[in-house]
Structure 1
Amino acid sequence: MNKPVRFYRVVTVLLSGGYGWLFLNKWVLHSSQDDLIVCPTRLVWGVPCPSCGLTRSLLAFFRAEISEAMHWNPIGFPMLLLLLLLPLWLIKDLIMKRNSLYEFYLLFMNHMRRPYYAFAFGLIIFLTWGWNISKDL
């Protein structure tokens, strides 16, 4: 199996898992997740990880409660964009028989190898982690 095919399969599985998790939380569990802790970092060390609150953030975005979404986790906004744009990009590549998403991924990863991009990305994650710890999610 070539790399682009494997890449598209992994992206499809991750998107399906993400949408499945949101569906499960919204319509099956009817949970605000205040009583549901699934984060291994939180369960083991009692400290929220940088992605804690992401599900609540995305669900708030879907309810158009922007300030609440940003309160839960500011990474929710870029994640929302990914959840909305990646399926469209996958379908476009499938219809047009192109690998533009894979090519973009390679370009992105090439940029992330540069120290200043990696530092900026790491800083955003670190600040989000501090934000989550200060809120005591």
Structure 2
Amino acid sequence: MLTPEDVLNVQFAPTKFRDGYDQDAVDDFLDRVVATLRAAQTGVPAAAPVTAADVEAVRFSSTRFREGYDQEQVDALLDRVRESLRHGSAVSDAPPATPATFDAPPPPAPATTPGLIEPPRGWLQRLLGR
């Protein structure tokens, strides 16, 4: 199973004098992949989840004579992401499930413990509400 940390820890070899993928475009898409994988772990829906179809359809602009990411390495990671999404270890192409609801916290404990006698208060303490 592919985890968000797996995607975050990937380092692609830079390219300069051969074709590579635009680094900003790849980074932006992988940010969405990380959010999708985290949503699958936590159960909290992602704002713009990535599906296996999105991974297949994504196209990055090429770079030449400026630094980019190695295309084969990016494609290999995208293959792993697509397979992970297809096999249900993350979100599927189905609409997101409703988020979990939580019960309200229990009421606070009473200020005094039942059965104990309060110490006597003088008129000044009663007047000031202490």
TM-score, normalization by structure 2:
0.32
TM-score, normalization by structure 1:
0.30
Structure of higher RCO (CA pairs closer than 8 Å, 6+ residues apart): 2
Select the structure of larger CA radius of gyration: 2
